[in-house]
Each structure stands twice: as C-alpha cells, then as structure tokens.
Structure 1
Amino acid sequence: MDGAALDAVEGLARRALAGSGDRLLAIGLCGAQGSGKSTLAAGLRQRLESGGVPVAVLSIDDLYLTRAEREAMARSIHPLLRTRGVPGTHDVALGLRVIDALERGEAALLPRFDKASDDRLPEARWERAAAGTRLLLLEGWCVGALPQAPAALAEPVNALEREEDADGVWRAFVNRALAEDYRPLFGRLDRLVLLAAPGFGIVRRWRTQQEHELRKERGGGMSDAGVARFIQHYERLTRHILTEMPRRAELTIALDEMRRAVAIRGG
C-alpha cells in the first residue's frame, strides 16, 4: 500500500476526529481480498497513536462464527455456509458488543479468528482495546456493503453458484443477511473508505500471493486451485461493491494491479 492512500485515509480520519468531540469515531475500510486493507489499517493506527490518538482495529474476519456454528448452518440451511466469508457467517452481535463498549469509553476485548484452524481463538488470546479509544477501524472485504436487488440474484455469476447453488438458496440467504442482520453493524460507521480493485479478475492473483506468503511463514495453506474455488464465494458481492459503493463512500481509492493508488475521490 503506497503513501498516497495512507495520506488520504489519515486526512479523512483526522478531519472526522476533529469534529467528533469526545465520542468514538468508527471508520469502515472496505476492499477486495488482497487489496491491502490490513496494511493500511496498521499504518493508520501507527500514525495516529504516535500522536496520542488511541486506535482499535477490528477485522470483520475476526467476527466469523465458530466452525461448529458454521457446520450447523451447513446442515440446516445450505452446505456452502460451511465456508467462512460471506454475510451470514459472522457473529454480528459480537461486533456490536465491541462497539457498544468502546462507545461507553470502556476497554474492550477484540475477538480474533485463526484461519489456519478455521476457528475462533479462545478469549484468552484476544487483544484488548484500551479504555478511551477514540477511533475504531472496522476493515473487511464486505464492510459497508448493501444488498442486491432480488432480481439480480437469478443468474449465477460463476461455476460455484451454477453447480453448487443451482436453486439460489445460498445466495438468497447471504443477500437477506446483508439486508437485515448487518444493517445495525454497518449503520454504526461514521465514514466509509473503499479500496477499489481494478476489477474482480485481479483478486485471484492477490489472494494467491497472500496464500503463498502464508505457506512460507506457517506451512500448509490452500493450493492455487483451492484459492480459485474459495474466491468464487466472494465474487458476486465483490463485483456488486465495486459497482455501487464508489457512489456513496466518503473516500474511494482506485488501485492498479500493483495496489498503487491511481485515483483518489472524496475525503
């Protein structure tokens, strides 16, 4: 993630903080898999905390339901819900409790999810946001997303939907969750930032690069073929976000294939 993007988000955050009084400011950071959200959030946190602004970073990935909960949903609703990621596979109430505590000025435990074991870590391994936190960064691939019109769900967007969700039950469930369950969470955001990939086609390359890095660090991980299948779970909503969110995000940072900012709108 280049300095121009970080400068733009920092400017947005500082202006918003200046007008927020003593209350918690919540900024949503949305971007496709591999777009650099975590790197940007970490850089912003470092800059602000060096100036005395307490910051908490929460990834929507850390709100995933446990593996047992997703297994139960796979049996009762649709097998594709076994795979973490799409709306309906997060513990939204947990995220709201974190925000509630921070808004009261209290210290708050920040949940953490272990993707290697595909399960939530025990509370003893969660991080703690300090009392008096001034800024919460909620980052994730679908943060702030809006549901699609029902008619848009009719045609599958890829082989996964065509072959494993032929009747549309899974995608209808995901869309309904986004329309209903996620509205209270995303409604708490004061500002929304979009890291706009040049298109969905680059996401496979970015996500594969991430997996290669994880293999070097930890061993194991998904194969390239596994990544190709995995990202199909995200394709529909990622394409929708890239189409509709730039019109309403307070800040949109258009990226090239190397994740460099090529255009910055808003702020």
Structure 2
Amino acid sequence: MSDWLADFIAREALPPAFGEVAARVCAPLAEAIVGKRVAGRPYVVGLCGAQGSGKSTLTAIVRRMLEERGLNVAALSLDDLYLTRLERLGMARDVHPLFGVRGPPGTHDAALGLATLDALARPGRVAIPAFDKAADDRRAPEDWPIFEGPADVVLFEGWCVGARAQADEALVEPLNALERDDDPDGVWRRHANAALAGPYQELFARIDLLILLAAPGFDAVLAWRREQEAKLRARLVREGGGGRAMDDAQVSRFIAHYERLTRWILVEMPARADIVLAMDADRRVGAMQFSLAP
C-alpha cells in the first residue's frame, strides 16, 4: 500500500481493509480514465451515487491515482452547486415550501456548474464553488478553493449526477409520507422533475464517462445517511460548536426528499452508465460492470 493511501485511510477513519478496495475498484477506474482526451476541454467523469455511498472517498483516491500519472485533475461536487440559503428560501416562498430543503433538482445552480467547467478548460486560477453543509449555505466566493487550470480531467460527483427525468405519469401518486402530506397536489415533485429535464441536462451533457455506485436499495441509503450525519455531529463536537447536524428522525424526513429520484436512478441508470459498481448494504463493491467501447 502506498504511504499516501495508508495516511488517507487513517485520516478518514476507514477500515484497514479499504486498501483492498482501492486496489480492486479505484485503480481500475483510474486506468479507465487515463489516456482519455477531449479537444479543447477537460475529460469529465460523472460519478453518481446515493447519499453515504462513498462518492467523495472514491473521488479523492481516484484523483490522487490520476495525479500520480501526471494528470491535472479537478474535483467538482454537485453539492457545492447548491443555491444559497436565501435563494432556496425564495423558492420555498414562491414555488413550494419543500424547496427550502437542499437536495432535489431545482435547488442547484446548473449555470454555475457550466461556468466552472468552462473555466477549468482555460489556463489560470479557477475558484471552485464550495457549500457549507453544517451552515446550510454556500461559502463566500473568497473562501472557495483555488485550482490551477487547465484541467485534464474533472471528477464530477453527486447523488443525481447524470440522472434523467421521469415520465409525467410517474409523478401522479405520492411515493412516501412526505409527498403525501406536504405535496398532495404534486407541485413540488413536478417542478423538480421539470428542472431535471431542463437546465440539469445541459450540465450533465458535459459528462464523457458516467459511473454509477449502485446501492442495493433505498433502505441502505437511509442507514448510510444516518451514519454520515452521526460523523458530522461528532466532528462539530470536536471542533467546539458552530453549525448544526440532524438527529435520526430529522435525517429520515430529510432523505425522503431524495427518495423518488434515488429509486428511479437505481432502476433507470444501470442500463446506460459506462461503469456500474454494484454495492451491498455494507458498501462493499461486488460486481463491476464495464460498458465502455474497446
């Protein structure tokens, strides 16, 4: 195991066996990306995975592996493209109250994502958008991390990266208690679906290679998200306050906002993703399906 990987595993409190995952999963992904080029812009790798599936960890390791091969690699998260809290509160007032909660399509700034990808194609300093989840707001631009372009590769990760909209008839019946009680007329879910069919598709059209981390089902996603929030609570305690984290009941309501599209992605995306990583409830990757052209 490389020293940097051992340090990463220790720093992120990952199990020691994660080194095997890096060798079996991350290394082949890096090899699938090496050598790929697109004229005039970075090669964009889209990584789609439900909350808590390990997208950020996978992205960090693959990025380092690519950098070791001499590539200039930028990482962009869909989460960092969230609208500001003020903008989302405006949507909650003018469109539907559920848009006060970040996550579903309609709560991201797709134009900001496109502008960032354009900037990453040019030489010079690029400020990468950043969102503070504990504060539930976008960081001030002066606090965004700086990347020195141009990028050879952009690793673009997010829970619904590359997703497609559902058919209108699929939206008629509520999927869970949140939709039944808070969106009985379907205004929120129709607006989110229309946003996904519109501006998001222009952003997702930039993806050259689509990778899906396929959870075994939505119940596993809920457990992963609770674990993720517990780690955030622990970090906030260690750092001595500031920000806020959700308890388990709040996590259950929060993730209900994501349930419809998460379930749809797991049904619809595997057939068209370039690479599918099938996961079990413990986030172990089993089968790895490559659909790449030779």
- By the TM > 0.5 criterion, same fold? yes
- Matched to 2:84, the amino acid is T
Instruction: Confirm or deny that 1:196 pairs with 2:196.
Output: no
Instruction: Confirm or deny that 1:30 pairs with 2:48.
Output: yes
Task: Give the C-alpha shift of residue 22 in structure 1.
Answer: 6.5
- Once residues 275 and 106 of structure 2 are traced to their aligned partners in structure 1, the CA distance between those partners, rounded to angstroms, is 26
- Once residues 23 and 145 of structure 1 are traced to their aligned partners in structure 2, the CA distance between those partners, rounded to angstroms, is 22
- Once residues 178 and 135 of structure 1 are traced to their aligned partners in structure 2, the CA distance between those partners, rounded to angstroms, is 24
Task: State the match for 1:8 in structure 2.
Answer: 28
Task: State the match for 1:150 in structure 2.
Answer: 168
Task: Give the C-alpha shift of residue 12 in structure 1.
Answer: 1.8
Matches within 5 A, 1:81-100: 81-100=99-118
- Once residues 7 and 227 of structure 1 are traced to their aligned partners in structure 2, the CA distance between those partners, rounded to angstroms, is 33
Task: Give the C-alpha shift of residue 21 in structure 1.
Answer: 5.8
CA contact (8 A) 1:22 1:134 kept: no
Task: State the match for 1:52 in structure 2.
Answer: 70
Distance 1:78 1:22, change over 3 A: closer
- Matched to 2:213, the amino acid is L
Task: Give the C-alpha shift of residue 8 in structure 1.
Answer: 2.9
Q: Indicate which of 178, 184, 209 corresponds to 1:166.
A: 184
Q: Secondary structure at the match of 2:149?
A: coil
Task: State the match for 1:79 in structure 2.
Answer: 97
- Report Cα offsets for 1:46-91 as digits up to 9, x if no partner: 1111222111111000000000000000000000000000110001
- Once residues 28 and 184 of structure 2 are traced to their aligned partners in structure 1, the CA distance between those partners, rounded to angstroms, is 43
Q: Which has the higher contact order (CA 8 A, sep 6+)?
A: 1
Query: CA RMSD for the aligned pairs?
Result: 1.3
Q: Indicate which of 243, 246, 260 corresponds to 1:236.
A: 260
- Once residues 156 and 94 of structure 1 are traced to their aligned partners in structure 2, the CA distance between those partners, rounded to angstroms, is 31
- Once residues 143 and 42 of structure 1 are traced to their aligned partners in structure 2, the CA distance between those partners, rounded to angstroms, is 17
CA contact (8 A) 2:121 2:149 kept: no
Structure 2 residues not aligned, in runs of 5+: 1-17, 238-243
Quick check: 257-266 or 33-42, which moved more? 257-266
- Once residues 206 and 53 of structure 1 are traced to their aligned partners in structure 2, the CA distance between those partners, rounded to angstroms, is 32
Task: Give the C-alpha shift of residue 13 in structure 1.
Answer: 1.1
Instruction: Confirm or deny that 1:223 pairs with 2:243.
Output: no
- Report Cα offsets for 1:100-145 as digits up to 9, x if no partner: 1112344321000001111000111101121221010110000000
- Once residues 76 and 146 of structure 2 are traced to their aligned partners in structure 1, the CA distance between those partners, rounded to angstroms, is 11
Structure 1 residues not aligned, in runs of 5+: none
Quick check: 119-128 or 97-106, which moved more? 97-106
CA contact (8 A) 2:27 2:65 kept: no
Task: State the match for 2:194 in structure 1.
Answer: 176
Q: Secondary structure at the match of 1:130?
A: strand
- Matched to 1:44, the amino acid is V
Aligned residues: 265
- Once residues 278 and 40 of structure 2 are traced to their aligned partners in structure 1, the CA distance between those partners, rounded to angstroms, is 32
TM-score by length of 1: 0.96
CA contact (8 A) 2:81 2:110 kept: yes
TM-score by length of 2: 0.87
Distance 1:22 1:29, change over 3 A: same
